[in-house]
Structure 1
Amino acid sequence: MIYITTWGDPSGWGEATYKKENGSEVKSFSTISTYDNASKIVIITLDSVLTPQKQQNQNPKKDNVANSCARKIASDYPTWVNNVKDYVKCIAEKGKEGIPISVIVIPAIGKISDFYYGKITLNIGSLPSYLYTQIVEALLVHSLYNELKDSNEEIVLDTTYGINYLPTITFHVLYNLTSLLGLKLKVINYIPTIFQKEYSFAEILRKGEGYFDLNQIKEKKSEPNEGKADIGKRIFIRSLKYNAPLLTLKICQNTVGDSKDYYNEFVNSVKISDKNEIIIQKKLDPNSAWIDVIYDYVCNKIKDYKNTKEGIEKIGNEIFSKFSSIAPSIISWELNSIYSIAIKENKLNIGEEKKYSEIAEKYKEEENSNMEEMRRHLKYFINCPELFKEYIKVERVDDKTLHNIVIKYKEEENSNMEEMRRHFIAHAGLLKDYIKIKRIGDKTLSLDYDESAIKGLKNILDLKNEDLEKILYNKK
């Protein structure tokens, strides 16, 4: 098991009795001594632990462990953070020897002792303090992912310590990360039964593998002079949301987007003023951190997969199953339909390549499948005829022109885009007019997007200036 715990200020911790999950007891200054089956311990703490608040009538016996590990404050922030890590690790090792221990240091906020923490400024001056929680989440997403990405063990979050918001944000991040990585999560707490003397184990929550909700991620807008990797990541996250495994695979194969080092970039941007202010000079976006983490995890897993029926189906079972319970079934259904037409019905010879629409049986769309949505749009345009001039050459729209409007409206490329997106998602991105199929063996097919489908794909994915063709076909 990997234990993750949030720590506040350990300088005032004294020895207490901890009743463990199995009923046995241990005397220690922290719960870390109860982690009997830990293969690794990760401690999340604040940069302010080097400047604890002075307590009146403080019992000197309580802080013996902390005093023996004391580290000095530094004049530069990277050294300060390293001193915090050494300090916390020294304390932790006195409670649990022989177990690998990692320390993640995040910024505190407010006045603590003689220091002012978490002052967020940029060139434009002070920034709103709510950005602090975004910074903390982004740092935790990046740091905890790197701690857990190669693990297959159960994760245990100990919420006994930590300033009120820290266990909550950590739980939020871990809940999502364990869903992405396919790990189990257990949340525990040691509840005081005799104040400051005895604490008893309590299990708060136990979670299986779960699903990662992609709807919580907000994508940033495209920016001028954006690199291919950033464009690819934005299209990548939409490919996951739109249930399009072939598109996901193409992006992973044709873009190189190393994960940004959020933590070290942040640490190197923080300054310590001569007024004892810890000044944060960098904003961090947790959405970008999540996209980077998901991209890194998924692409490292599938980038060497082939765009065959078997390869794409494997992506559905291994990756898309993390975001939806029904996605793998939809993907398999579509792939089996393609396989049945191309191979079982022998519509393709070995070495032959055709568009899916050329080999598929013609299907008839129901005439009124989208009339209700069409009527809603038409009602809006009839009431606002000035907005409809680009569609028809009339000054006003009345009932007599309704039929012509419907015909013209149907011809417009974006008239039914929401319906088209639903269609795209429902068919795993493998639409007949978009896919080309090649029979590369007796029972083997490869799939790709036809270059004639680029314009339609851009509309479905709501892409503006991004050069999708370069991403899909690795063109310069």
Structure 2
Amino acid sequence: MRKDIGVLDIFGRKTMGQSGIDTLIVVPWGHPAGWRQVRYTTKGISLDHCTTLPLLLKMFPRAEVFVLVLDSLVDEAPKPQSPSKCWQCYEENIEHLRYASQAKSYKELRDQLADFLSSYVKCLLGDQYKPVIHPVICPAVGRPGGKWIFRGNPRDFESIALYDLGKTILEKPFSSIVVDTTHGVNFMPSLTTRLANRLASLLLARHEHLVLAGQRGVKIYIYNADPVPLASPGQPEMSLNLIAEETHSSIQIPPVIPENLLETMEPGTQPFIELNKTYFEYAGLVASSLYYPLPLLLVHAVSQETAAKAWDVLVKAHREWETRVEILGNTVQRRLALNPDALYLLMLSVAVARRLEEKGLSYPTDTRQLAQVLPLYEAVNEAHRYIIEDELARIEKKTVRIQRILKEVDWTPLYLIYIEPNQHFSAVKKRTMIAHAGLQKEIVQVKLLENGQVLLRYNSAWENKPLQQLNSSGLLLPQYKATS
């Protein structure tokens, strides 16, 4: 069989081959109807077009594309003085916008705008480029187009973009993220750049080989083209500049957690108590178990169909947010706000749970299985790996010495294998828990299996009420209330 050797991109890196997609392109766009025809150039490559997207696809031939636009695109644009391909494609697909302007619900408005954007991008790219295109309709604020008014939390932009992008990256292991902020407006460039780092963290949490691969992380490239002069004769030549490049090699775990995933924009009311409580039960437990080296608690946290249940919370929160948006004439009023920090943590919980589920980890778990989470913890903090490795080795060494005794009993408190002169019992303390990778001998039980493997579990107090136990020992990441 012929070996697929792949192709080289502009950096000389081998891509995943003819059928492999290894790059995620994210482009925030303002209103494209008035964009001029320009010659975009970079690294000896040039292309005449009204948008940088075809050039990006030439640079990264194995890419999947997410185009982020605002729902204010529903405002029809006037014909520019110098119509380009961007205007021609706009005119050809304008009926979608007119349908959107007559939408009876916000979901219908977003669906019609997504149909417009899909057809519009295909028109722009023609037959030469046929990547997978994902249209993402994000919330605007203010009056960007002049006619329609949009009211709501500006951070909803990041939340909706993360929700739509997250569904794909949880399934596809992109090794590179390309963000081009050239055509973004207002808050779009800054929030999309911030979004890239969160997407990279989710990729590392979900797909283990990205941590183990040669580049040990996800490459992030940020591009921005020279500004097009407002008035210049002929066709200007603009450079597409690489303004930032990094290898994102660590999973971001914030030291504080938002109290709520879904909030009302009306002060003094909070109608989603159960949903927000369920969000924190998943996000708070998983985030705390990662932020501190608590691998056994993490396996326990994700052993009860956590991925599916946490994803259900995400879907429900998104559905509540969308259905509570009202269209009143030419005003779009968002009644709820989705916290992007909370959404990220809940999506991180889904990513980690799916990864561990695929490994077949179950609770109670043995020391060899527990060692399989080492690459995950190393991607959070390299020191975590050595703390966990050392503690597992100590437990295995001690159990070998008294294996005859352990074989005669069922579950045994871990402290019994550490019997020493003047033995005393310690309360659960934050410092001790961190130093011993959450395997403090007073709260862990062991069982020696016939094959010699050492099975571990927590006592009933930690199994039944892990959040309360984390909180009382100072290991639960603190919560904060978001400001609108």
The alignment's TM-score, normalised by the length of structure 1, stands at 0.76
Within 2, Cα distance between the matches of 1:6 and 1:176?
A: 16
Residue by residue, what CA displacement relative to the aligned partner does 1:171-225 show, whole Å, maximum 9, x if unpaired?
1122122023123221122224876722212112222132233225514279976
Check if 1:82 corresponds to 2:111.
yes
Check if 1:273 corresponds to 2:336.
no
Equivalent residue for 2:361, pick from 294, 305, 314: 305
Within 1, Cα distance between the matches of 2:278 and 2:164?
A: 25
Residue by residue, what CA displacement relative to the aligned partner does 1:393-413 show, whole Å, maximum 9, x if unpaired?
xxxxxxxxxxxxxxxxx99x8
1:2 aligns with 24
CA distance change for structure 1 residues 52 and 463 in 2, over 3 Å: closer, same or farther? farther
Equivalent residue for 1:329, pick from 351, 372, 386: 386
1:341 aligns with 398
Residue by residue, what CA displacement relative to the aligned partner does 1:22-42 show, whole Å, maximum 9, x if unpaired?
x12111111111112143111
Within 1, Cα distance between the matches of 2:274 and 2:178?
A: 43
How big is the shift at 1:233?
3.7
Equivalent residue for 2:178, pick from 156, 166, 184: 156
Residue by residue, what CA displacement relative to the aligned partner does 1:433-471 show, whole Å, maximum 9, x if unpaired?
01101111343111000225569966651169xxxxxxx
Alignment of 1:60-71 (within 5 A): 60-61=83-84, 63-70=87-94, 71=96
1:237 aligns with 287
How big is the shift at 1:245?
0.9
In structure 1, what residue type is equivalent to 2:223? I
- For residue 298 of structure 2, give the secondary structure of its aligned residue in structure 1: helix
Residue by residue, what CA displacement relative to the aligned partner does 1:138-166 show, whole Å, maximum 9, x if unpaired?
22222221122222231111111111311
1:191 aligns with 226
Within 2, Cα distance between the matches of 1:208 and 1:363?
A: 50
Equivalent residue for 1:92, pick from 103, 121, 146: 121
How big is the shift at 1:86?
1.9
Residue by residue, what CA displacement relative to the aligned partner does 1:313-367 show, whole Å, maximum 9, x if unpaired?
11132x222321211111111111101101256465447431110111438799x
CA distance change for structure 1 residues 270 and 329 in 2, over 3 Å: closer, same or farther? same
Alignment of 1:461-476 (within 5 A): 461-462=470-471
Cα pair 1:185 1:207 within 8 Å, conserved: yes
Residue by residue, what CA displacement relative to the aligned partner does 1:251-295 show, whole Å, maximum 9, x if unpaired?
111254231125444333212102x11111212122321222011
Structure 1: runs of 5+ lacking an equivalent: 121-130, 367-409, 465-476
Within 1, Cα distance between the matches of 2:438 and 2:67?
A: 42
CA distance change for structure 1 residues 14 and 439 in 2, over 3 Å: closer, same or farther? same
Within 2, Cα distance between the matches of 1:225 and 1:32?
A: 43
Within 2, Cα distance between the matches of 1:364 and 1:29?
A: 78
Check if 1:295 corresponds to 2:349.
yes
Cα pair 2:40 2:46 within 8 Å, conserved: yes
Structure 2: runs of 5+ lacking an equivalent: 1-22, 205-217, 262-271, 474-484
Within 2, Cα distance between the matches of 1:456 and 1:265?
A: 29
RMSD: 3.1
CA distance change for structure 1 residues 173 and 347 in 2, over 3 Å: closer, same or farther? farther
Within 1, Cα distance between the matches of 2:255 and 2:467?
A: 23
1:432 aligns with 441
1:314 aligns with 372
In structure 2, what residue type is equivalent to 1:15? Q
Equivalent residue for 1:109, pick from 121, 125, 141: 141
Cα pair 1:436 1:449 within 8 Å, conserved: yes
- For residue 382 of structure 2, give the secondary structure of its aligned residue in structure 1: coil
Residue by residue, what CA displacement relative to the aligned partner does 1:85-123 show, whole Å, maximum 9, x if unpaired?
122222221333321100111111112445343323xxx
> Alignment length, in residue pairs?
400
How big is the shift at 1:52?
4.3
In structure 1, what residue type is equivalent to 2:164? S
Within 2, Cα distance between the matches of 1:463 and 1:228?
A: 20
